[in-house]
Amino acid sequence: MIEVSLQLLTFLAASLLIIIGIAGMLFLDNLIKKLISFTLLSDGVNLALVSLGYVPGGIVPILEPGASISDFPKEAALIFGPGIVLTNIVIGVSTTAILAALIIMLYKRYGTLKASKVLKGEME
């Protein structure tokens, strides 16, 4: 029961991060804050992916010497979650880098980080 609650808690935390991230990206006016919101969203998705692979009472998915091969698939946490998370981290970093580069270029051009002014083409 405690393990089930633990997974539920991680899903709740992930949902909270995702909601805060999406809300920040949609409603905050500062481009840097939007960027930070995206990283929150990405972290929330990563947490959700890791939580999907959780097996109550399970073990780390590394086959130790002497361990039972037949019991291993039942006991080990699912490996695909962390596998996807690794890739998602790389994608997240790439996206953050491109967004940061675009924000810098727009800041140099318009002298402001306010999305409302940048999108209207107004200078600070």
Partner 1 sequence: MSETVVNLWSIPLLVVIPILTAIVLNLLYNRVRAIRVASVVSAAALLVVSIVSPYGLQWFTGQPGVASDGSYTYSTSIFSWKLSLEYYFGPLQQILIFTSSLLLLFVVVISTRSLKKDFGPYVAIMFLTYFSTVAVIMVNDFYHLWIVVEIGSLLVAGLVAASGAGSAQKAALKYTFFSALSGSGLAIALALILGITGYANISDAISFLMMTDLGNMYNVLYISFAFLMLSWIYAGGLAPIHPLKSDVYRSAFPHATVLLQAQSKVMLVAIGLVLLRMFGGLPFAREAMLSISLLTMILGVVMALIQTDFRWILAYLIVSHSGLVTVGISLGTPLGIVGGLFQAVNDIVYMSVLLLCCEMLLYFNNGTSIRSSGGIAKKVPWLAAFAILGAFAASGIPPFNGFQSELILIQAALGGGLPEVAAVILMVSVSTFIALFRGIYSIFLKPSTNPLPEGSESASSPPRGMPIILGILVAITLILGVYPQLALDFLTESAVKVVYVPWVP
Which residues of this protein are in contact with partner 1, per CB under 8 A?
Answer: 18, 22, 25, 31, 34, 38, 41-42, 45, 48-49, 52, 78, 80-81, 84, 87-88, 91, 94-95, 98-99, 101-103, 105-106, 109-110, 118-119, 121
The minimum distance between CB 78 and partner 1, in angstroms, equals 8
Closer residue to partner 1 in complex, CB, 8/101? 101
- Residue 66 CB, shortest distance to partner 1, in Å, is 27
Q: How far is CA 49 from CA 6, 63, 74, 86, in A?
A: 15, 22, 19, 10
Element (H, E) at 107: helix 80-110
- How many whole angstroms separate alpha carbon 21 and alpha carbon 43? 9
Cβ-based nearer residue to partner 1, 67 or 87: 87
Report the residue number, 4 or 102, with the smaller CB distance to partner 1: 102
C-beta atoms surrounding 114 within 10 Å: 14
Closest CB to partner 1 among residues 63, 98:
98
What are the residues facing 76 on neighbouring strands? 59
Question: Residue 12 CB, nearest distance to partner 1 (Å)?
Answer: 16
The least distance separating partner 1 from the CB of residue 115, rounded to whole angstroms, comes to: 9
Q: What angle do CA 32, 43, 76 make, to 5 degrees?
A: 170
**Rounded to a whole number, what is the largest CA-CA distance in the chain?**
68
